Structure 1
Amino acid sequence: MAKGFTFKQFHVNDYGCGMPVSTDGVMLGAWAALPTSGQILDIGTGSGLLALMSAQRTTSNGNPITAIEIDRGAATAAQKNFSDSPWSERIELAHQSVQDWASQQPAGSVAAIVCNPPYFNHGEQAECQSRATARHTGTLSHHDLLSAISYLLSPTGSASLILPVYEGEQLIQAARAHQLYCQRVCEVKTTERKAPTRLLIALAASPSEPQHEQLVIHESGEYSKAFVALTKAFYLKM
C-alpha cells in the first residue's frame, strides 16, 4: 500500500514533509485562479500537492510550473511525486528559498502564484525541524513572502494563499505596502453555525473592490454541495 494520499489523477507521498496533505491545501489548489498561459509558481511546495493540482487543472494549456521548497526532505518527496505524475515534464523543482530563486528571475515574470504559507508568527515551534519550517514563519516571514510575490507577479497575475482568519486579515493589510491588493477573499467554515477558520485570499497588483465568498465544508453531517463541486475533480470518492 503506497504511503500518502491518492487523488483521481495523481498520488502524493508526503513522507518526510513537515506538513502532510491537508484539506487546506486541496481547497486552495482547487480555488486558486490559474492562467491560460504563462508560468505558475508554487512557493513552499512541500509534498508538491499544489503544483500537481495546478498541473492537472492546466493540462490543456500546458503551463510550465515551478515548485520551490527549502526543506531537503520535502524537496526529495516532491521531486518523486512529480516524476511519478502525468506532468513530470512540466513541473520543475527548485530546492532553495523563494528569496534566492526570485533574485534570479525577471520582475513580473510569473503569471500565477499559489502558496500555502507558514501560518504562525509566534508560539512554540514543533520539535521536528521540517514541521517547524512548514508551520512557522522563521524561514519565510509574511513580509518576505509578500516582497517576493510583489516582485515576481505579472501586472495581470494573481497570487492565491490560505491562512487562518487572523493571519489572513493581517496579510491582506500588510500586502498594500507591497502594492498588492485583495482581489477575492473566501471565508471557510467547517459548518454553517461555526465561525470562519480559514481565509482563501487572491492578491493582485491592481486595486479593486474584493469579491467576497463563503465556503461551508460540512452540511448535515456530509460534505456540502459547494465543497464537493470545488474538489470533486481531485478526491477519489466524490
Structure 2
Amino acid sequence: MAKDFTFKKFHINAFQCGMPVSTDAILLGAWAAIEKSQSILDIGCGTGVLAIMCAQRNLKANIDAVEIEQNAFNAAQQNCTNSPWSNRLNVHHIGIEVFVKKKLTFDAIICNPPYFNSGETSNNLQRAIARHSIALTHQNLLHYCVQLLNVKGNASFVLPKVEGQAFINLLLQLNLPLQLTRVIDVKTTVNKVANRVLIELTKHSEYTEKSEYTEKSEYTEKSEYAENSYQQLIIHDGEGYSQDFIALTKDFYLKM
C-alpha cells in the first residue's frame, strides 16, 4: 500500500492509489520550467503531487490534472481540495485521449509518464496503469503534447535512463514540432551510473531541424545544455544530500 507524504506546505494522502510519492516526481515537480506559465497540464497526475507542486511554485497559474484510474483520481481530487491552492487546481477523471478533444491549450505540460514498454505487467492493475505504457504509449503522449501545447510552451518528463533515451529517439523519428531543450541525468551518488533522466521539450510553430542534443546517438555526449541548467544532478554526496539536490527541492522537503 502506498504511503502518505507530508511536504512543507501540503500533504499527500495516498488513499488506494497504486503508486507512492517518489523522488522522481519531486525532482520533476521542482525542476520543470513552469514559473512563467499561465496554464499548466499534469498528464496522468496520480495522487496530484505534481499539480500541487506547480501550484505552490507558480501562484498565478491555473492547473488542470488528468487521471484515468479511479482510485488515483479520488486521491488527487481530495489532495488538491485540501491544498492551499485548491481554487487553481482542477482534476479531471478522464483519459488524455478524451481530454485532448476539448481543444484546450497550455503553456506547460508536466508528466511522470508510464514506462516499462515491455515485460510482464503487474498483477495489480492500478500499479500496472501507473508504471506501464499500457494506458498511454510514449508515441501518443508526444502527439498529445503537440496538440495541447501553445507555441513556445514546454513539456517536462522524468523517465528511467534507458526509457528516456528511447523516448528521445522516438521524438526524432516522429519529426514533430518539438525540440529537446534540456536534458539532465540523475545519479544517486557520484560513482553510480545515471538511473533517471529529466527531459524538457519545447514546441515550435514549424517543424525544426534536429536538436543539437540528438545529433549523436547518446545525448550525454553533448556538452552544451540550456543556460542555467544542470547537465547532471547527483542526489547524495559524502555528507548526505548534495547541495544541488537541496537547492532544487528545499521548498518541498520537510527536513531541508
Q: Deviations over 1:69-88 (max 9, x none)?
A: 00000000000001100011
- Mapping of residues 26-105 of structure 1, within 5 Å: 26-59=26-59, 62-105=60-103
Higher relative contact order (CA 8 A, sep 6+): 1
- Mapping of residues 3-14 of structure 1, within 5 Å: 4-14=4-14
Contact 1:191–1:219 at 8 Å: present in 2 too?
A: yes
Q: Deviations over 1:156-190 (max 9, x none)?
A: 11100000111111111212313222100000000
d(CA) in 2 for partners of 1:171, 1:181: 13
Per the alignment, residue 143 of structure 2 pairs with 147
Gaps of 5+ in 2: 214-224
d(CA) in 2 for partners of 1:205, 1:8: 33
- AA aligned to 2:65 is A
Residue 127 of structure 1: CA displacement? 1.1
Q: SS state of the match for residue 101, structure 1?
A: helix
TM-score calculated relative to the size of structure 2:
0.88
Q: Deviations over 1:62-113 (max 9, x none)?
A: 211000000000000000001100011100011111111011124xx21000
Q: SS state of the match for residue 89, structure 1?
A: helix
Runs of at least 4 residues of structure 1 off by over 3 A?
206-210
Q: SS state of the match for residue 36, structure 1?
A: coil
Contact 1:172–1:181 at 8 Å: present in 2 too?
A: no
Per the alignment, residue 179 of structure 2 pairs with 181
Per the alignment, residue 116 of structure 2 pairs with 120
TM-score calculated relative to the size of structure 1:
0.94
Per the alignment, residue 242 of structure 2 pairs with 224
- AA aligned to 1:196 is A
Gaps of 5+ in 1: none
Kindly, what percent of the aligned residue pairs are identical?
A: 48
Q: SS state of the match for residue 132, structure 1?
A: helix
After TM superposition, the structure 1 stretch with the greater mean CA deviation from structure 2, 177-186 or 63-72, is: 177-186
Question: Aligned pairs, how many?
Answer: 232
Per the alignment, residue 222 of structure 2 pairs with none
